[in-house]
A and B are shown apart, each in its own frame.
Chain A
């Protein structure tokens, strides 16, 4: 296996994720927390994020379709989403959540709906990109079990 080339791919991919605004410094902070006693920590945190955030997106979508809309509940749900997204360094998603919250504040239902669609797209894109990133990492890292709980 060409580890040099793999490592180069990993570095390039990570740089791209930062340059395109998908991730911010908080992701680096998470990676710094990883050590020999918890070699899969970042992947486990990210897997947990995608598991929880998928549920939250469903709840947000359901809350949007209820009538009358409960903008307080919507804001609370997106606040949770934004919070956990910030914790893993998901910058684009965090920004889109801020947009959603602003629409909630204005009681702008259509704005909320558009924001939700963007959040879902960002969510899916980031999930796919990080899945690829961790897949590459596993190929160069120690022979650890892969975390598939976020599929």
Chain B
């Protein structure tokens, strides 16, 4: 597979409470030369943004303890983080409406495919290179 430009490696945040799903997604992102970190619920994700952390892309599960994905997405957007690409991810197809209503850019059903991630990251990198 084509490797991403190391100079503009996207920074990704994975918001996922199910360890297996998190492990797989993190592995895919590292395989695509993405700098990725993971948190276990929506509140931890919001806290990172409150701390001033920035990301190029966020992958968020829907149902999580403490704070759900859509709730976290709404809060992140309300903070003014409008540039970050937010991807809602869920095995529950009904999650699409919740995520899009909250301000996500796109919804992906689980399990996520590597090719889909690669395409998505290429767009993020392209946008990042144009703005730098």
- A residues at B contact (CB < 8 Å): 26, 29-30, 32-33, 35, 38, 41, 44-45, 48-49, 52, 76, 79-80, 82-84, 86-88
Given contacts A79-B63, A83-B91, contact A45 B20 (CB under 8 A): yes
**How many residues on the B side are at the interface (Cβ–Cβ under 8 A)?**
16
Inter-chain contact B110/A83, CB cutoff 8 Å: yes
Inter-chain contact B114/A29, CB cutoff 8 Å: yes
Inter-chain contact A82/B91, CB cutoff 8 Å: yes
In this complex, what residue of A is CB-closest to B17? A80
Partner of B31, one of A26, A33, A45, A82: A33
Given contacts A26-B111, A87-B111, contact A49 B20 (CB under 8 A): yes
The SS class assigned to the A binding surface is: helix
| B53 / chain A contacts, CB cutoff of 8 Å | none
Given contacts A76-B63, A79-B63, contact A84 B111 (CB under 8 A): no
A-B contact pairs, 6 of them (CB 8 A): A45-B24, A48-B19, A48-B20, A79-B91, A83-B110, A87-B18
Inter-chain contact B91/A86, CB cutoff 8 Å: yes
The SS class assigned to the B binding surface is: helix
In this complex, what residue of A is CB-closest to B91? A83
| B23 / chain A contacts, CB cutoff of 8 Å | 44-45, 48
Inter-chain contact B114/A84, CB cutoff 8 Å: no
Ranked 3 nearest A-B pairs via Cβ: A84-B20, A83-B91, A49-B20
In this complex, what residue of B is CB-closest to A35? B31
Say yes or no: is B21 at the interface (Cβ < 8 Å to chain A). Answer: yes
Say yes or no: is B27 at the interface (Cβ < 8 Å to chain A). Answer: yes
- Shortest beta-carbon distance from A54 to chain B in Å: 13
| A41 / chain B contacts, CB cutoff of 8 Å | 27
- Shortest beta-carbon distance from A143 to chain B in Å: 22
Inter-chain contact B110/A87, CB cutoff 8 Å: yes
| B31 / chain A contacts, CB cutoff of 8 Å | 33, 35
Say yes or no: is B113 at the interface (Cβ < 8 Å to chain A). Answer: yes
Given contacts A33-B114, A87-B110, contact A80 B18 (CB under 8 A): yes
| A84 / chain B contacts, CB cutoff of 8 Å | 18-21
| B21 / chain A contacts, CB cutoff of 8 Å | 83-84, 87
| B28 / chain A contacts, CB cutoff of 8 Å | 33
Inter-chain contact A52/B20, CB cutoff 8 Å: yes
- Shortest beta-carbon distance from B68 to chain A in Å: 12
- Shortest beta-carbon distance from A138 to chain B in Å: 20
- Shortest beta-carbon distance from B17 to chain A in Å: 8
